[in-house]
Amino acid sequence: MTDPLAIVVRRARAEDLPAILAIERVSFTDPWSRGSFAALLEQPRVHFAVALDGDGGALLGYTVAWFVVDEAELANLAVTPEARGKGIGALLLKGAIEASDARGSEAMYLEVRASNQSAIALYTAHGFSEVGRRRSYYRRPVEDALILRRTVTRHPDTTHDTQRK
């Protein structure tokens, strides 16, 4: 699996949870529980998507974003160790950004370990920039979280003349 065109991205389903949990456990030192993921499956204000190998159907990664009023938060994004560096994370991130834009979000936020340079590079390549730091946010090991934000610049609709004459 190296061809990003052979990747299928779709909404997460209950049958995906075992593979999602396996990726979660190898990706994070404080993993989410099965119940946390299961609770998101049917939530209308949540973008919960998986990336599958189009050739064999193996689950390669997932992302979770939620939306509140005019803001979005990228809450989780992980890819299997074997599939990292092959564009899967970027594909999942683009899907979350598109979902955020479609909902009219003005900004999308996320937190990332200060030492996670590959994730920071991915996020900055997609328009995120650092806006803050949470000291000692992560526990295993203790580490700062960087708060990143991506804002949406909306251009006024120029097809209608709104001036009064």
Residues taking part in catalysis:
111, 123
What secondary structure letter does DSSP report for 85? T
Q: Are 106 and 151 in contact (CB under 8 A)?
A: yes
Handedness of CA 95, 100, 102, 103 (dihedral sign): positive
> How many whole angstroms separate alpha carbon 41 and alpha carbon 124?
28
Q: Are 24 and 73 in contact (CB under 8 A)?
A: no
